[in-house]
Amino acid sequence: MYARTTTIQADRSKVEDGIAHVRDQVFPAVTAIDGCAGMSLLVDRESGRCIATTSWESEAAMQASAEQVKPLRSDAEDTLGATSSEVATWEVAVMHRDHASPDGACARITWLSGDQGLADRATDVYKTLILPTLQEWDGFCSANLMISRDSGRIVGTVTFETRAQLEATREAAKDLRHRASERLDAKVDDVAEMDVAMAHLHVPELV
């Protein structure tokens, strides 16, 4: 499975309109494209940062959709009052769901970078160290790891039932990041905590 992420810096006052637009207009259109499995949307209502992720059955399907999704992305950016956007493509290396994310769910996203061998090392460390640890935390819903072999970048996402449960794991998550980045010889580039506005990625279990 593969994924395309679009990170948008939106006007905070337009985030709710943007969520409705993605749910009602973008989601039906993009999931009608050949090879698209689903879509999710994460938002930070305080900063205006939004991350839309579409999942694809193959790298070929993802690449073939590039031109088709451009007008959908442009419309979403307009609705959100975007000042900037960034598109990235990934291979989904790990996906585990304990249960579906309820309304009010929140996610922590962690981006790391390193050499070109990072992707393979990270997949092993995620399965053996990170995922078993995350599953022990209260409120755990799901977790996934996406990798970019060529760029040496990875991004991991863990979802919790409530914001309170997300916040309660901050110190433990900081310790886990430190241990994982040392083992991987990788740099933590960014960490974000966001609301799950939409969760229909439909990626099968990959562990």
Q: Is pLDDT at 15 greater than 90 in this prediction? A: yes
Architecture of the CATH domain 2-200: 2-Layer Sandwich (3.30)
- Model confidence band, residue 84 (pLDDT cutoffs 50, 70, 90): confident
Q: Is pLDDT at 66 greater than 90 in this prediction? A: yes
pTM to 2 decimal places: 0.94
* 39 φ/ψ sector (left φ>0, alpha ψ -120 to 50, else beta): beta
- Model confidence band, residue 20 (pLDDT cutoffs 50, 70, 90): very high
d(CA 158, CA 110): 9
Q: Which of 104, 111, 175 is nearest to 137 (CA)?
A: 175
CB 155 within 8 A of CB 123: no
d(CA 77, CA 43): 14
Average of per-residue pLDDT across 119-136: 95
Which H helix or E strand runs over 183? helix 170-184
Average of per-residue pLDDT across 17-39: 97
Per the structure block, which two tokens stand in for 110? Answer: 């962690």
CB 122 within 8 A of CB 92: no
**Phi, psi at residue 104, to the nearest 5°?**
90, 0
- Model confidence band, residue 116 (pLDDT cutoffs 50, 70, 90): confident
